[in-house]
């Protein structure tokens, strides 16, 4: 594998949930250790299963892996890190500030932004403290810091004094408030990440057009902030020999080949490795050793590839319930790469085909709704919110209002903060807020809705709708805010989209917790691209289908109030006819 050629000291594996980062990181660590290198494997994944992979408890301490000489592992729990981070910041003001203010601070420090920074806080020492890791030649990280986190850490260090004088109102100040004392350490960590002699980033993706567009954006985002030494691993490619006698498998092989042929230009200069899809669960040393082996024997292995019984609600059951209301807001949320755009288009089309007025909108930079729909339908209108345009509009608005009375230093700091990724999230939410007013008279279907992180930022202290409530209280006046609309189950149905794989399901569960903290109760879950629901005949796919059943059961019994499962289709769901297939009633031949 090219990404393991002459490896530097730090190897970071990054990518969307479910693409196989943990498996590749573990397999790489084993490969290096068995080549005689002393290796520390570090997981910062909230859904870390490194211990499960090796069959032992690891946790937040450096633990030797007995079965692999030269290999040790460490699991950083971002949630534990975030709790410790909050306690460190909030502890000194408990009993000093009013309880309502303390609660507001805690809420602001409960989102994904704070969790990312807290996890970075934990492993910064691994990048900068030579004494701590002196016994290791290589440190392999499962889940790298995102460009979002690094940009936050690059914000100016003068915010504390700036705020004390009452000049600023930064969108990310809650998570950033505790960084001042360690800023030099963070600067050293960011420098290590940007040093091509010390660090290599391994971008992990699947051979799917949307996934490759996502990873191309990640590549450009990280390169723009100085993390230039990158490799690309395209994981889980279905071997052509596995497609014999199965139309679904043959279609997957063809689609993946087309996706690779159309590799985004931004990725073509990177070293690229391809890893075949395996039929087995990647648990245990034998499985890890086989992951990076170039062996097609597994693809045709029929051992244990029995057909599995499958029965789950179809997407049509959710569409029926949505349509019964006649109008309302339908939000599709979830991590990148799970198919939100496709499902949003499918639901919007299914509603429009019933003669209902529908507005379908997206803010996803990679979403090509016109291309996905590839046709027009009466009663359906389509729009796209451009995040860059909305962010620039929001920046101008804030500078004209909050920046009007600032001196040159204050205005420069405000402009710096407005370059944080939180600014884009809030700007896009404002654009969505303008559109969702239409949901009182028609259906509004929103792709890439605000994340739980954004909602917590917007409502951390209840600054908007609670203030309106206070001002209107006792006057007998009716009022409504965007947050109130999102929180009202009579007006909004939030659908969480995931895949039938361990990491995507766990990430969706965490997103659900974020939404609930913001007062939004998800209405349903949609498990997309299910192999099990497609009832494949190819041995490799049948074994993959059997592996999905436990994840679908977890959604049905532990996470969702109601759910639906959408099958993986043999043709790309592009165009009106194929999109309507996704919402066709069960038993109609789809």
List, by residue number, the catalytic residues.
18, 20-23, 45, 503
The count of residues in the chain is 590
Which has the closest alpha carbon to 422: 451, 393, 445, 444? 451
Is-contact 50 58, C-beta < 8 A?
yes
Q: How many Å apart are CA 37 and CA 11, to the nearest integer?
A: 14
Q: How many Å apart are CA 127 and CA 122, to the nearest integer?
A: 10
How would you classify the pairing of strands 563-567 and 39-43? Answer: unpaired
Q: How many Å apart are CA 103 and CA 581, to the nearest integer?
A: 47
Q: How many Å apart are CA 532 and CA 521, to the nearest integer?
A: 28
Largest CA distance in the chain: 75
Indicate the helix (H) or strand (E) that contains 29.
helix 21-34
- The token pair that represents 35 in the structure block: 């080549």
Q: How many Å apart are CA 271 and CA 219, to the nearest integer?
A: 13
Burial of 280 per CB tally in 10 Å (0-12, 13-18, 19+): middle
Which has the closest alpha carbon to 447: 110, 256, 210, 215? 210
DSSP letter at 270 equals S
Q: How many Å apart are CA 138 and CA 176, to the nearest integer?
A: 30
SS3 139: strand
Q: How many Å apart are CA 439 and CA 492, to the nearest integer?
A: 9
Is-contact 10 37, C-beta < 8 A?
no
Which has the closest alpha carbon to 27: 295, 275, 242? 275
Q: Left if phi > 0, otherwise alpha if psi is -120 to 50, otherwise beta: which for 50?
A: alpha
Q: How many Å apart are CA 115 and CA 119, to the nearest integer?
A: 6
Q: How many Å apart are CA 473 and CA 468, to the nearest integer?
A: 8
- The token pair that represents 437 in the structure block: 């007013």
DSSP letter at 105 equals H
- The token pair that represents 378 in the structure block: 């009466």
């Amino acid at each position: 594998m090219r990404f393991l050629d002459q490896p530097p000291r730090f190897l970071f594996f990054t990518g969307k949930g479910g693409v196989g980062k943990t498996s590749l990181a573990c397999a790489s660590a084993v490969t290096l250790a068995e080549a005689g290198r002393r290796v520390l494997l570090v997981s910062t994944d909230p859904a870390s299963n490194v211990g499960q992979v090796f069959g032992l408890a690891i946790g937040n301490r450096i633990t030797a892996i007995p079965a692999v000489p030269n290999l040790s592992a460490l699991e950083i729990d971002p949630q534990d890190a975030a709790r410790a981070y909050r306690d460190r910041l909030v502890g000194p003001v408990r009993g000093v500030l009013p309880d309502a203010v303390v609660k507001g601070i805690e809420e602001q420090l409960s989102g994904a932004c704070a969790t990312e920074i807290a996890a970075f806080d934990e492993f910064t020492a691994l990048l900068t403290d030579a004494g701590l890791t002196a016994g290791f030649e290589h440190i392999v990280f499962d889940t790298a810091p995102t460009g979002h986190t690094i940009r936050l850490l690059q914000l100016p260090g003068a915010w504390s004094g700036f705020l004390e004088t009452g000049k600023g109102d930064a969108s990310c100040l809650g998570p950033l408030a505790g960084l001042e004392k360690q800023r030099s350490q963070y600067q050293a960590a960011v420098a290590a990440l940007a040093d091509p002699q010390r660090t290599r980033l391994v971008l992990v993706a699947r051979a799917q057009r949307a996934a490759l567009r996502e990873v191309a954006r990640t590549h450009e985002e990280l390169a723009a902030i100085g993390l230039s030494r990158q490799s690309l691993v395209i994981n889980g490619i279905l071997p052509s020999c596995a497609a014999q006698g199965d139309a679904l498998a043959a279609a997957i092989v063809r689609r993946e080949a087309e996706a690779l042929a159309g590799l985004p230009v931004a990725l073509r200069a990177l070293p690229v490795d391809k890893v075949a899809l395996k039929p087995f669960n990647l648990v245990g040393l034998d499985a890890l050793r086989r992951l990076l082996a170039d062996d097609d024997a597994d693809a045709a292995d029929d051992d244990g590839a029995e057909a599995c019984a499958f029965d789950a609600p179809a997407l049509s059951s959710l569409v029926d319930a949505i349509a019964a209301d006649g109008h309302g807001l339908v939000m599709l949320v979830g991590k990148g790469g799970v198919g939100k755009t496709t499902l949003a288009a499918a639901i919007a089309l299914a509603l429009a085909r019933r003669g209902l007025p529908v507005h379908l909108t997206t803010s996803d930079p990679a979403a090509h709704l016109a291309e996905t729909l590839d046709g027009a339908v009466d009663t359906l209108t389509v729009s796209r919110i451009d995040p860059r345009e909305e962010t620039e509009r929001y920046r101008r608005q804030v500078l004209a209002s909050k920046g009007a009375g600032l001196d040159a230093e204050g205005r420069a700091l405000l402009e710096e903060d407005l370059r944080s990724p939180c600014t884009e999230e809030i700007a896009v939410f404002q654009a969505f807020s303008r559109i969702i007013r239409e949901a009182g008279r028609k259906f509004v279907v929103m792709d890439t809705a605000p994340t739980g992180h954004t909602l917590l930022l917007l409502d951390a202290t209840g600054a908007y709708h609670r203030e309106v409530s206070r001002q209107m209280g006792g006057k007998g006046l009716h009022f409504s805010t965007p947050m109130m609309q999102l929180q009202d189950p009579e007006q909004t149905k939030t659908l969480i989209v995931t895949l039938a794989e361990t990491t995507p399901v766990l990430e969706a569960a965490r997103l659900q917790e974020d939404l609930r903290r913001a007062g939004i109760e998800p209405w349903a879950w949609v498990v997309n691209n299910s192999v099990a629901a497609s009832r494949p005949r190819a041995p490799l796919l049948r074994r993959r289908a059997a592996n999905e059943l436990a994840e679908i059961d977890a959604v049905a019994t532990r996470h969702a109030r109601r759910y639906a499962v959408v099958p993986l289709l043999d043709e790309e769901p592009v165009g009106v006819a194929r999109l309507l297939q996704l919402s066709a009633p069960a038993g109609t031949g789809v």
